[in-house]
A and B are shown apart, each in its own frame.
Chain A
Amino acid sequence: MKISKSPWIIHYDGSSCNGCDIEVLDSLMPKYDLERFGVVNTGNPKHADIFLVTGGINAQNKPVVQQIYSQMPFPKVVVAVGICACNGGIFKECYNILGGVDKAIPVDIYVPGCAARPEAIIDGVMKAVALLDKKREEMKKEAKEN
């Protein structure tokens, strides 16, 4: 059995137009139904495996994103959803925007799009799920070595 059969998600919306935010929720709705892969939207960092971030990073939400990331137990995967989360997108030149999510925490999967379509988000989540297994294996190896 693989741990990727039960990926629980926490979703955070940074500095964005909320388009991707709505698309993330949309992929959990009956039409796309992410729960058929065992995905649960937990809303609690301590239960989550995948951190979905939409929107760019600004000075105010940088500590928030870092806080959520630090509270998640290993193994964990970060998915940046939408072009703003990837590199700042249309807001990139704004005075308050620091850039994409990788300015605050290490990002594993980038899902481009404005707004990212539910199909793209599901694809991103599935890639993240594969990565979870890999990270778990690495965790086991490290535990053995220590």
Chain B
Amino acid sequence: MTTAIALTIGFIILGPFIGGLLEGMDRVVCARMQGRQGPPVLQPFYDIYKLFNKQSILVNNIQDLLVCGFLVFVVFSGVLFFMGEDILLVFFALTLAEIFMVMSSASANSPYSSMGAQRELVQAMTYEPMLLLTAIGFYIAAESFRVDDIARTDIPAIVYLPGIFLGYVFILTIKFRKSPFDLSTSHHAHQEMVRGLTTELSGNILALVEVAEWYETVLLLGVIGLFFVNGTWWGLVLALVGILVSFFFETFVDNVFPRVHWDTMVKSTWMFTLIAGGINLFILVLIR
């Protein structure tokens, strides 16, 4: 219980710093892959500081409230996860947070913003089956939906769930807004709908979105870690290596693949979910 509370407090306080550092590393690695020097590792924090110091233009009076809802529910789902609660609840709370973000951009009277919102919904529809399969896979492997039970099994979940792990890494590309699937908004300049989801957000409201995304990054990478931990010290080392390798892989994919059309995204992701996740689950049910 003390570990859970320590982890939760650590998540609430250190979450944005870890998320920001990861984004900084991502930008440097990304630049090196393109043969550039790249920004300093602390660049995301400079950006946040800048955004908090800018004038904030509100286009309506519900937008900021909805963005705050996004932040609160992302933190809430992270707290549930690190407290060792039900993993299904974590994913549901995360989806609710996403809906807040979608509503915030749909509330703005701008075609770019509402198109970003629509695409975000398509993205949610695309990754949601795999998220649920991940939760079900954990349940069959550890016979419990609770995160603390899953983290304490003798054999790491990855042994039972290699296919589901690959499927999860696949949808992580959508969640992290990386290149083939960065339809609703992109961290790069080459976004065809101005900025999509965040077009109408500026100043400190945009900064809140960034902070929420850093929390989300930590939470999603925590789920990657959950595949590897088994209550021993080498399980933790394995989890850390797994997290770093998956994160590097996402950066790599970001630089290798061009953005795809939305129906290609839906088809390929669902196909991969069905093949990797479905077959994995089927075999698991047979052998357990």
Report A's interface with B, CB cutoff 8 A.
1, 3, 5-6, 8, 28, 30, 33, 35-38, 40-44, 46-47, 49, 71, 73-75, 136, 139
Contacts and interface: CB of A to CB of B under 8 A. Distances in A.
Given A35-B31, A43-B189, A46-B201, 18 more contacts: A3-B49, A6-B46, A6-B50, A8-B50, A30-B35, A33-B36, A35-B36, A36-B31, A41-B189, A42-B195, A43-B191, A44-B195, A44-B199, A46-B195, A47-B198, A49-B50, A73-B54, A73-B56
A73 B57 contact: yes
Given A30-B34, A35-B31, A36-B36, A46 B47 contact: no
A38 B31 CA distance: 12
B38 A74 contact: no
B109 to A, nearest CB: 14
B189 A73 contact: no
Contacts of B27: 35
A62 B181 CA distance: 36
Given A43-B194, A47-B202, A47-B206, A33 B38 contact: yes
Given A36-B38, A40-B189, A73 B50 contact: no
Contacts of B54: 3, 49, 73-75
Interface residues of B, number: 30
B55 to A, nearest CB: 4
**Those 9 A-B pairs whose CB atoms lie nearest each other, nearest first:** A5-B46, A73-B55, A41-B189, A6-B50, A46-B202, A74-B55, A44-B195, A6-B46, A33-B36
Given A6-B43, A73-B57, A74-B55, A42 B189 contact: yes
A98 B57 CA distance: 31
A134 B206 CA distance: 23
Interface string B33-59: 011111110010011011001111100
28 contacts: A3-B50, A5-B50, A6-B46, A6-B49, A8-B50, A30-B34, A33-B37, A35-B27, A35-B31, A36-B36, A36-B37, A36-B38, A38-B39, A38-B47, A42-B195, A43-B189, A44-B198, A44-B199, A46-B57, A47-B206, A49-B50, A49-B54, A71-B57, A73-B55, A73-B57, A73-B202, A74-B54, A74-B55
A71 B67 CA distance: 21
A74 B57 CA distance: 9
B278 interface: no
A31 B51 CA distance: 28
Nearest to B194: A44
Given A43-B189, A74-B54, A1 B39 contact: no
A31 B200 CA distance: 33
A34 to B, nearest CB: 10
B203 interface: yes
